[in-house]
Structure 1
Amino acid sequence: MGIGKLAFFLLCAFLCQLVFSSSLPHLCPNDQALALLQFKNTFTINLDASYSGYYPKTAKWNKSTDCCSWDGVKCDEMTGQVIQLDLSRSQLRGEFHSNSSLFKLSNLKRLDLSENDFSGSLISPKFGELSNLTHLDLSYSTFTGIIPAEISRLSKLHVLSIESDPYELRFKPHNFELLLKNLTRLRVLHLSSVNISSTIPLKFSSYLTNLGLSDTQIYGILPKGVFHLSNLESLDLSDNPQLTVRFPTTKWNSSASLTKLYLSGVNATGTIPESFGHLTSLHRLRIASCNLSGSIPKSLWNLTNIEVLDLGYNHLEGPISDFFRFGKIRSLSLRNNNFNGQLEFLSFNRWTQLGLLDCSVNSVTGPIPSNVSGMQNLYSLFLSSNLLNGTIPSWIFSLHSIGILDLSDNHLSGNIQEFYSESLYRVSLKQNQLQGPIPKSLLDLQGLQFLLLSRNNLSGQIASTICNLTKLLVLDLGSNNLEGTIPLCLGEMSGLWILDLSNNSLNRTINTTFSRGNQLIVIKFDGNKLEGKVPQSLINCTYLEVVDLGNNELSDTFPKWLGALPYLQILILRSNKFYGPIKDSRTDNLFAQIRVIDLSSNGFSGDLPARRFENFEAMKMIDESSGIREYVGNIYSYYYTNSLTVTTKGLDLELPRVLTTDMLIDLSRNRFEGHIPSIIGDLIGLRTLNLSDNRLEGIIPASLHQLSVLESLDLSSNKISGEIPQQLASLKSLEVLNLSHNHLVGCIPKGKQFDTFENSSYQGNDGLRGLPLSKDCGGNEGVPQATTPFGKDQEEEEGYSTMISWQAVLMGYGCGFVIGLSIIYIMLSTQYPTWFSRMDIKLEHKILMRMKRHKKRH
């Protein structure tokens, strides 16, 4: 047989064998099948994780079929050994054991266990024994703890992805550096939200195409070599504020291949360099919150392939119209910068792909262009907090694709037209000059979740069809000219969290019945013309944090039952017609979480409710250790801010947001009587205490000195007697003090904040002496005793006897004055010591001042 025939025969035999072998089923070795079944039986199927793309891949694994045919399993065609296992999104739940049977699959090359629920299991060091692995993905499967150093032994790895929820996973010191040193073949490295807490090593795998280290607490200066990795396609180092990034000023080695660059939230202070113009392959660029300043370099307009551009939260400036050059843009965010000019670039018919446009919080002026077309894919439009004026053009209302519309905080006028989009779920037009009725089409949008139209000039009534918005979470119609009654059905909207109808002209009684199981957190009906009683059904609003019914015409006794709401933190009933006593109770544990209670300008009477104060548990703490600013009732603070008008530091102030530390008690302008309870001194978190314009008597309790963070104390216009407790001088935070128009006596405390208060803090207290008053407070005289306070009627009735008593006093003063002058003459003539002279001069001055004050009063 010739060589050619032999070769032909062998080739045919090989091809026949290959065809024959490929037609046979792959026989999975028994040990491999057993290992897989044991692994499967370790977990349950998480039925709660039935999202799109998630399904239980192991559900149909069984002994009767070849394991190489199982879902997610791939075997070597020649040996039958399992070489790939893809169980991502397989709804697995349970503990991942350190000695799992999975580690018997020693020939594995690709292993993907991402997006399961391994219930806080540790990553086993035995992963390091799977030495043939080229791909390993353990991301978002609830692993916790330390990433074992043994992972660094997987020297064949091309892809390593161990992303997690923030800081559930971490490296030991130097292990991250060891990882990069050993894994020299890496092409993809994703460790987002893993706590690395170290600097980035100088050297990376030269094969690297994708590097994702966002939110890993890396710090220091980013090595320049990262920008010169010649194969780099995607770089994500965002949300590492302690990482300093210095952009190359010349062409980057990676400029030809780089398509995604995410550096938001790093320290890249300075301007955008001209070198960015070389990144012509770039599709996505995010450099928000980087402290960048200056204008946009002309070279940036060379990035004609840009689809996603985020320059938000910087200090960039220049005309916003220049951005018309990005014809392929799908998402453009310029939020929170200093861009100016007008939006005429929207008139160019080249925005067919644009899905998101965010120019909020800039200095954009003029009207929104009316001749805009071609935005059939626009889903999110943010133009809030600018200087826009004119009417809202009809093309915005005609967008069928629009889902989010935010034009708030501008100077827009005219009517709100009817909407055509059925995709709308968030509409914010608040703080403009819009007028007319609420459009009917808004009330028919079944998917609407956020409707914010406050601070406009809208008129008409609130139609009951608004209750058809079954998915509504935030309804803010405050500060308009709406009238009529509050729709009864609002209380039946079980999903509503925020209900703000404040500062309108709504009238009559609140007949709304709030159903059980509702989710309301904030109810603001203040600033209307509402009458009658507080609806008892509010007790069904279990999650309420804020109730503001102030500035109405409500007439009721104190609704103490509101105190049973377990999360209630703010209760405002000011400026109504509430009346009667507030009964004491220490046993019912009401108002335990209250932080702001304002009952001012009503007709409440009787003693101050001392035992109610004892229930104010939240006010008995000062919690500022965390340093995190927390707000009351702002569950959707990005969309809605819970503003509040309070009287503090002598002024009516509107707090745009209420901090959990803004603790206030205002019971002023009522008819309370009796003593100030000393128990108030236990409310050490108080910042404002206002008990002015009542009929309180007795003394100022010394326990108030325990209110170490108190900033405003107003006890004016009462009948309080006695001295100002010296202990109050220890109040370092006290900025405003008003004790005027009482019957206080004695010396004004000295030192610290008391040295800053003016006469107005003490006027109308004839028995007070010392700075800042002109009456001297000597140390040798006895302190006048507190006199029984008189009412105005009593003073008039006893005016005659008072006059007689003062005549006797004047006679005494006259005699004393003559004697005093005689003593002075003798002293001067006999050369008495000068210190004695000074003492007598002071005495003479006091006598004269008292005589002048008497003449002024009578």
Structure 2
Amino acid sequence: MTGMIPQQIGNLKNLEYLSLEENNLVGPIPPAIFNTSTLQVISLKSNQLSGSLPSNMRLLLPNLEFLYLGSNQLVGSLPIEIAGLKDLTYFSLSNNRITGSIPESFGDLMNLESLDLSANNLSGEIPKSLEKLHYLKYFNVSFNRLEGEILGGGSFANWKNVTNLDLSGNNLSGAIPDRICDLNSSLRYLGLNDNQLEGALPLSLINCSELVILNVANNKLSDTFPHWLGTLPKLRVLILSSNRFHGSIHDSIATSSFPRLQMLDLSGNEFTGKLPTKFFQNLKALREEVEYEHDNYRYSVNVTIRGLELPFTITVAIPIFTCIDLSINGFHGEIPEAVGELSMLLALNLSHNTLTGPIPPKFANLAALESLDLSFNKLSGRIPSQLTDLTFLEVLKFQNNNLVGSIPRGKQFETFENDSYAGNLDLCGFPLSKECSNGEGSETENHKVNRKGIAFIWKVALMGYGSGMVLGISMAYVVFTTGRPWWLVKIIERDLKEKVASWIQKKR
């Protein structure tokens, strides 16, 4: 539907439920709507409505329980006198152009269960008064201009029912409160990314037994790898990217298992050391399908894939986009073969490290893999021909390594261009312009040639062994029947040594 909302709706004095959501309605919200005191539900979200909200809503809508006005073009500030809406349970003004601060009076909405003010232009601090909201389950103020400490430095002791807490995309500073999770916490999603938070992850997070997603990317956090989070039984997404995490993740072997983890992003930190085999062996949810209980909540995270940072809306009831991103760190050593056992993995990024050794042929077992980035390392050896079996592979980045030999042909490998292999001076073959010489055939062909060569050497050796035995028996007869002529023995020994050495050198 198009056009404006007619003023005459305000004449429906007994109206209790009004839903005009997901249309193309324009103009302001008619003030007459707020004269309908019987209204309990107003849903006008996903239109093109403009204008501001009346400041005296509490006087006009005493029975209002649900107010959905998200995804419009509303301006102005939040209504200060909203506190009188004692029955208000769900309030959403997300994706508008609301300015100003969050009024302290919002802390008096004692029955409020869901508050979504995300994607506006709100500023100031998060009022400490909000800690009084005992029934709050969903709190989202992400992507505003809020500053100061989380919840004004207040306590989370009363927020025992909160399942979704999203404070991402603001200018919040200070440390993450130590009591953000208590023993009775129901928290499932914690989004603190894209702020200015400092310090370490609070150990109280280990009490978040229901936590599914933890995102603290793009802050100033400084800590070692939180291996203790591996004991959380439901954790499926751990995003620590673009912080100052440091040290080795090798210490996590003994204490963490991360049995449900499906998305791990440690990129853009200062991690060092080798990639521990045991760590990857413990990622059960990436090795086999795992069933999850039903959950209607949807969560949003950003994932870097195919060179772009893309938002993903995630429903916990279905499998999450599975990926491991360890790029832009200081990891060294060889890639563990255990990584090739993560058969549920869709994206793997190990770029911009100092990894050495060959690409594990076991990567051919990553049957679901769509994106593989091993660029800017020091990997050597040939590209395993088994990787051509990855039929879902859409993105391949091997550039700036020390790879050699011909590039495998077939299936998905026919679709990749020069950029996938740039910076490997000893690579040859399609799609590169450098052709392979006769001695640089495919790995399979070289393997066959080597087998034939080995067989030929063994045949020659056996022939030499046979003729040598005849010669030896004959010489023994001559020696023992003629009284051991030493001059003949020495000549034969010298001659044999020279010929054998020459033959071996040629075969080598």
- TM-score for both structures, normalised by structure 2: 0.76
Distance 1:749 1:784, change over 3 A: closer
Residue 609 of structure 1 corresponds to which residue in structure 2?
Answer: 276
Distance 1:449 1:552, change over 3 A: closer
Residue 299 of structure 2 corresponds to which residue in structure 1?
Answer: 642
Residue 375 of structure 2 corresponds to which residue in structure 1?
Answer: 716
The counterpart of 1:575, out of the listed 228, 242, 249, is: 242
Distance 1:584 1:733, change over 3 A: farther
Q: What secondary structure, in the 3-state scheme, does the structure 1 residue paired with 2:258 have?
A: coil
CA–CA distance in 1 between the matches of 2:61 and 2:236? 45
CA–CA distance in 1 between the matches of 2:111 and 2:256? 46
CA–CA distance in 2 between the matches of 1:742 and 1:581? 23
Q: Map residues 539-688 of structure 1 onto 2, 5 A cutoff.
A: 539-583=206-250, 590-621=257-288, 635=295, 637=297, 641-657=298-314, 660-688=319-347
CA–CA distance in 2 between the matches of 1:708 and 1:477? 37
Residue 332 of structure 1 corresponds to which residue in structure 2?
Answer: 18
CA–CA distance in 2 between the matches of 1:679 and 1:598? 18
Distance 1:732 1:434, change over 3 A: same
Distance 1:698 1:485, change over 3 A: closer
CA–CA distance in 2 between the matches of 1:763 and 1:455? 38
Aligned amino acid, residue 386 of structure 1: N
CA–CA distance in 1 between the matches of 2:251 and 2:155? 41
Contact 1:444 1:468 in 2 (8 A): no
Contact 2:288 2:344 in 1 (8 A): yes
Aligned amino acid, residue 765 of structure 1: N
TM-fit CA distance, 1:683: 0.6
Residue 428 of structure 1 corresponds to which residue in structure 2?
Answer: 116
592-601 vs 456-465, which deviates more?
Answer: 456-465
Q: What secondary structure, in the 3-state scheme, does the structure 2 residue paired with 1:680 have?
A: helix
Root-mean-square deviation (CA, aligned residues, Å) is 3.2
CA–CA distance in 1 between the matches of 2:9 and 2:411? 57
TM-fit CA distance, 1:432: 1.1
- TM-score for both structures, normalised by structure 1: 0.47
More relative contact order, 1 or 2 (CA 8 Å, 6+ apart): 2
Matched, 1:748 2:395: no
Distance 1:332 1:489, change over 3 A: same
Distance 1:350 1:520, change over 3 A: closer
Deviations 1:295-350 (A, max 9, x none): xxxxxxxxxxxxxxxxxxxxx44432264453421111222333333312x33675
Q: Map residues 327-476 of structure 1 onto 2, 5 A cutoff.
A: 327-344=13-30, 346-347=31-32, 350-369=35-54, 374-394=60-80, 396-417=82-103, 418-419=105-106, 421-439=109-127, 441-461=129-149, 462-467=151-156, 469-470=158-159, 472-473=161-162, 474-476=164-166
Distance 1:328 1:570, change over 3 A: same
CA–CA distance in 1 between the matches of 2:171 and 2:253? 43
TM-fit CA distance, 1:737: 0.8
Q: What secondary structure, in the 3-state scheme, does the structure 2 residue paired with 1:387 have?
A: coil
Residue 765 of structure 1 corresponds to which residue in structure 2?
Answer: 424
Residue 167 of structure 2 corresponds to which residue in structure 1?
Answer: 477
Deviations 1:151-175 (A, max 9, x none): xxxxxxxxxxxxxxxxxxxxxxxxx
TM-fit CA distance, 1:384: 1.1
Q: What secondary structure, in the 3-state scheme, does the structure 2 residue paired with 1:686 have?
A: coil
Q: Map residues 145-544 of structure 1 onto 2, 5 A cutoff.
A: 316-321=1-6, 323-324=9-10, 326-344=12-30, 346-347=31-32, 350-369=35-54, 374-394=60-80, 396-417=82-103, 418-419=105-106, 421-439=109-127, 441-461=129-149, 462-467=151-156, 469-470=158-159, 472-473=161-162, 474-492=164-182, 516-544=183-211
Distance 1:604 1:464, change over 3 A: closer
TM-fit CA distance, 1:656: 3.5
Contact 2:62 2:84 in 1 (8 A): no
Aligned amino acid, residue 427 of structure 1: L
TM-fit CA distance, 1:561: 2.7
TM-fit CA distance, 1:424: 3.2
Identity of aligned residues (%): 41
Aligned amino acid, residue 170 of structure 2: N
Contact 1:389 1:410 in 2 (8 A): yes
CA–CA distance in 1 between the matches of 2:227 and 2:124? 40
Q: What secondary structure, in the 3-state scheme, does the structure 2 residue paired with 1:760 have?
A: helix
Aligned amino acid, residue 14 of structure 2: K
Distance 1:648 1:784, change over 3 A: same
CA–CA distance in 1 between the matches of 2:414 and 2:387? 12
Distance 1:617 1:339, change over 3 A: same
CA–CA distance in 1 between the matches of 2:368 and 2:426? 29
TM-fit CA distance, 1:460: 3.5
Contact 1:464 1:489 in 2 (8 A): no
TM-fit CA distance, 1:714: 0.8
Contact 1:642 1:657 in 2 (8 A): yes
CA–CA distance in 2 between the matches of 1:440 and 1:671? 41
CA–CA distance in 2 between the matches of 1:686 and 1:533? 29
TM-fit CA distance, 1:699: 1.4
Deviations 1:43-75 (A, max 9, x none): xxxxxxxxxxxxxxxxxxxxxxxxxxxxxxxxx
Residue 498 of structure 2 corresponds to which residue in structure 1?
Answer: none
CA–CA distance in 2 between the matches of 1:592 and 1:705? 23
CA–CA distance in 2 between the matches of 1:411 and 1:535? 34
Distance 1:424 1:597, change over 3 A: closer
Distance 1:577 1:487, change over 3 A: closer
Distance 1:369 1:562, change over 3 A: closer
Deviations 1:789-840 (A, max 9, x none): xxxxxxxxxxxxxxxxxxxxxxxxxxxxxxxxxxxxxxxxxxxxxxxxxxxx
CA–CA distance in 2 between the matches of 1:437 and 1:725? 55
TM-fit CA distance, 1:622: 5.0
CA–CA distance in 2 between the matches of 1:338 and 1:317? 5
Q: Map residues 770-809 of structure 1 onto 2, 5 A cutoff.
A: 770-777=429-436, 780-783=438-441
Q: Any stretches of 5+ residues in structure 2 without a counterpart? A: 444-508
CA–CA distance in 1 between the matches of 2:32 and 2:348? 57
Distance 1:440 1:772, change over 3 A: same
TM-fit CA distance, 1:381: 1.5
Contact 2:170 2:194 in 1 (8 A): no
CA–CA distance in 2 between the matches of 1:543 and 1:371? 39
Aligned amino acid, residue 420 of structure 2: S
Deviations 1:761-794 (A, max 9, x none): 111011111222112346x444499xxxxxxxxx
Q: Any stretches of 5+ residues in structure 1 without a counterpart? A: 1-315, 493-515, 786-858
Deviations 1:26-50 (A, max 9, x none): xxxxxxxxxxxxxxxxxxxxxxxxx
Contact 1:696 1:718 in 2 (8 A): yes
Q: What secondary structure, in the 3-state scheme, does the structure 2 residue paired with 1:665 have?
A: strand
TM-fit CA distance, 1:676: 1.7
Contact 1:767 1:784 in 2 (8 A): no
TM-fit CA distance, 1:562: 2.3
Q: What secondary structure, in the 3-state scheme, does the structure 1 residue paired with 2:98 have?
A: strand
